[in-house]
C-alpha cells in the first residue's frame, strides 16, 4: 500500500542546505500497522509530511497503491493525517468536529454528519454528539480526533504521536482501544511514537531511524500473535523485541 524508496529531503536554511532525510526506504502492506521510531528531531514528521503531500521530496519516491503521491495542493492525497494535538474547535460540537474533514472535501453538512455519526458507537462516543470538546476527557478527545481522521475514508492513516499528550493510564487504555478498532477496520497505518513499548504492542513491524540526517537503521518484525493482551508486555518475546530496538537506538545515539 505504501512504498517509500530512497526518500531524501533537504531544507535551505541561512543560505545553506540542511539534509534531513538520507535515502529512507520502507514499506507498509495493505492493512499493516507500521510504527516509526527514532531520536527526537531526526526527521520522522518530515517523512510523514512527504507521504501526506505537504512537502516535496528532494529526491526519491513515495507511492500509495502503486501511484506516486502528488502535492496536496495539486491533487487529492490518499492519506488522512492525525497530529499529536487533537485540534478540535472548541465552539463546534463533537459531531460537527468529526464531520469537518468531510465538509472540507465537499460533502454536504447533512451527509458529513450522517457518516460521522455512524462511527460514534465503535469509537465509544455515543451520547456525546452534542458535547463540546471542553466537556470531554483527554482520551475521549483523542477518540474524536481519530474518528475525524478515519471518517474521511482514506486508505492510509498517518498518526503522529497520537497519544503522546496523555497520562500513562489513559495512554494504555487508548492503545488497547486502538488495537481493537484497527483489527475491526484493518486500516493501513503509519504511526510515529517515542514509546518503544507502544510501538511493539500495536505494530506488525517497527522502522528505526537514525539521528539526522535520518537513515533506516533497522526494520524489526514483531512476532507477537493478535489479538494482543497487555500481559504480553512481560513476555520473553516482547522483551526480546524491546531489547533489539533499544540496542539499535543506543547504537545510533553513540554515532
Residue spans of the domains in the chain: they are: 2-78+155-254, 85-153
Cell numbers at 230, concatenated: 497487555
Higher pLDDT, residue 106 or 136: 136
How far is 27 from 10, CA to CA, in rounded Å?
A: 21
- The Cα angle at residue 183 between residues 182 and 188, in degrees rounded to 5: 50
**Is residue 203 exposed (0-12), middle (13-18) or buried (19+ Cβ within 10 Å)?**
buried
pLDDT in tens, 122-135: 899 999 999 999 99
| C-alpha cell recorded at residue 62 | 513515495
Class of domain 2-78+155-254: alpha beta
Residue 85, CA distances (Å) to 176, 181, 184, 248 in order = 20, 20, 25, 29
Q: What is the pLDDT of residue 158?
A: 94
- For 72-98, how does the pLDDT look when each residue is reduced to its tens digit (9 = 90+)? 555 567 888 888 888 899 999 999 999
C-alpha cell at 100: 469537518
Mean of the per-residue pLDDT values for the chain?
90
How far apart, in whole angstroms, are the C-alpha atoms of residue 208 and residue 218? 5
What are the distances in angstroms from CA 92 to CA 96, 102, 132?
6, 15, 6
Amino acid at each position: 500500500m505504501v512504498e517509500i524508496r530512497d526518500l531524501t529531503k533537504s531544507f535551505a536554511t541561512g543560505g545553506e542546505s540542511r539534509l534531513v532525510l538520507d535515502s529512507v526506504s520502507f514499506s507498509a502492506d495493505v492493512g499493516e500497522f507500521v510504527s516509526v521510531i527514532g531520536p527526537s528531531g531526526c526527521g520522522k514528521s518530515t517523512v510523514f509530511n512527504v507521504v501526506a503531500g505537504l512537502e516535496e521530496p528532494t529526491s526519491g519516491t513515495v507511492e500509495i497503491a502503486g501511484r506516486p503521491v502528488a502535492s496536496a495542493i495539486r491533487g487529492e492525497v490518499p492519506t488522512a493525517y492525525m497530529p499529536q494535538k487533537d485540534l478540535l474547535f472548541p465552539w463546534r460540537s463533537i459531531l460537527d468536529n468529526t464531520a469537518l474533514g468531510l465538509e472540507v472535501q465537499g460533502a454536504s453538512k447533512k451527509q458529513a454528519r450522517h457518516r460521522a455519526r455512524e462511527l460514534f458507537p465503535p469509537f465509544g462516543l455515543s451520547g456525546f454528539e452534542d458535547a463540546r470538546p471542553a466537556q470531554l476527557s483527554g482520551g475521549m478527545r483523542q477518540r474524536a480526533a481519530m474518528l475525524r481522521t478515519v471518517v474521511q475514508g482514506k486508505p492510509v492513516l498517518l498518526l503522529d504521536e497520537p497519544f503522546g499528550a496523555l497520562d500513562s493510564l489513559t495512554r494504555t487504555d487508548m492503545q488497547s482501544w486502538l488495537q481493537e478498532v484497527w483489527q475491526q477496520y484493518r486500516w493501513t497505518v503509519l504511526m510515529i511514537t517515542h514509546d518503544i513499548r507502544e510501538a511493539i504492542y500495536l505494530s506488525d513491524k517497527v522502522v528505526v531511524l537514525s539521528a539526522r540526517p535520518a537513515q533506516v537503521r533497522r526494520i524489526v518484525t514483531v512476532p507477537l500473535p493478535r489479538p494482543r493482551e497487555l500481559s504480553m508486555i512481560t513476555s520473553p518475546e516482547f522483551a526480546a523485541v524491546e531489547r533489539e530496538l533499544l540496542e539499535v537506538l543506543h547504537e545510533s545515539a553513540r554515532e
